[in-house]
Amino acid sequence: MENLTPEQRTPVRETGFEKARVGGEEMIYGALVAMTQGWPREYALNIFPNDRPLILNQIAEVQKAANDDEVQKNLTAFADALAAAKQRRAAIAPDATSRSVAWL
């Protein structure tokens, strides 16, 4: 590729950047699943309050940047799962005033 002019090599590089970008977004999705799923619900409800702001922020950021359908679909499903956890938590402890609940 070094033998090509900058103009000639740009489409190839564009493909590479796009592949790297999508791979990076898939990594974030996979990491979120690995870190937060599979927990028993009662544990998840206690853990999510501390981590949810960061996780939801990351999902929103990645969704903004992603134009890949599969990545979008995965992230939307994950954000929905977190929102459902939030609702369940609110139903369980609507009047709680602990620091964890304040994060909800």
Partner 1 sequence: MLVALASPALAETPSSDGAALAARASDAAKELRTYLADLAKAGSRPDFSKPPASELFGRIFDMNGLAALPPPASNDFSWLLNWSAARGGIIKAILTFGITPPAGASDQAAIERNLVDYEDQQTVATSFLVRVVAREVQSLTLFMAQLPEDQRTPMRQEGFDTVRAGATKVLSGALITLTANARMLSAAIRDTGEVWVGNIFPKDRSEIMQEIATAQREVKDGEAKKNLAALGAALARRSSGRPL
User: Residue numbers of the site for partner 1 (CB under 8 A)?
Assistant: 1-3, 6-7, 9-35, 37-40, 42-44, 46-47, 50-51, 54-55, 57-58, 61-62, 64-65, 67
Other C-beta atoms closer than 10 Å to the C-beta of 62 total: 21
89 vs 51: CA distance, rounded Å = 14
Question: Which one, 57 or 87, has the nearer CB to partner 1?
Answer: 57
Joined together, the tokens standing for residue 34 give: 């690995």
Q: Which is nearer to partner 1, 50 or 76 (CB)?
A: 50
Residue 91 beta carbon to partner 1: minimum distance, rounded to whole angstroms: 18
Of 89, 11, 102, the C-alpha closest to 44 is 89
